[in-house]
Amino acid sequence: MIRILGLVCAAVTLLAAGHAQAQLLDMRDIMGGGPNFRGGGYGGGSSPIPRGTAMLGGYAPGTIVIHTGERRLYLVQGNGQAISYGIGVGRDGFRWSGTHRITAKKEWPAWTPPSQMLRRRPDLPRHMPGGIENPLGARAMYLGSTLYRIHGSNEPETIGQAVSSGCFRMTNEDVVDLYNRVSVGTTVVVKN
CA distance 74 to 188: 10
Rg (CA), the chain: 21
Average pLDDT (69-92) is 96
Task: For residue 18, name the pLDDT band (cuts at 50, 70, 90).
Answer: very low
List the Cα angle 83/85/91 in 5-degree steps.
145
Mean pLDDT of all residues belonging to the chain: 82
The answer to whether residue 79 scores a pLDDT higher than 70 is yes
Amino acid letter, 34: G
CA atoms within 13 A on the CB side of 166: 15
CATH code matching the domain that covers 52-191, chosen among 2.40.440.10, 3.30.460.40, 3.20.20.70, 3.40.50.920: 2.40.440.10
Tell me: the pLDDT tens digits for 46-64?
A: 778 899 999 999 999 999 9
> Are 138 and 169 contacting, i.e. CB atoms less than 8 angstroms apart?
no
Average pLDDT (63-85) is 96
> Are 170 and 180 contacting, i.e. CB atoms less than 8 angstroms apart?
no
The answer to whether residue 77 scores a pLDDT higher than 80 is yes
The answer to whether residue 87 scores a pLDDT higher than 70 is yes
First to last CA, the chain: 76
**What letter does residue 93 receive in the DSSP assignment?**
T
- What is the 3-state composition of the chain as percent helix, strand, coil, each rounded to the nearest 5? 25, 30, 45
CA distance 190 to 64: 8
Nearest to 47 by CA among 139, 141, 191, 174: 174
The answer to whether residue 14 scores a pLDDT higher than 70 is no
- DSSP SS3 for 164: strand
Tell me: the pLDDT tens digits for 137-191?
A: 999 999 999 989 999 998 999 999 999 999 999 999 999 999 999 999 999 999 9
CA distance 84 to 30: 25
- DSSP SS3 for 47: coil
**What pLDDT does 28 receive?**
26
Nearest to 154 by CA among 173, 129, 179: 173
pTM: 0.76
Phi and psi at 154, nearest 5°, equal -95, 10
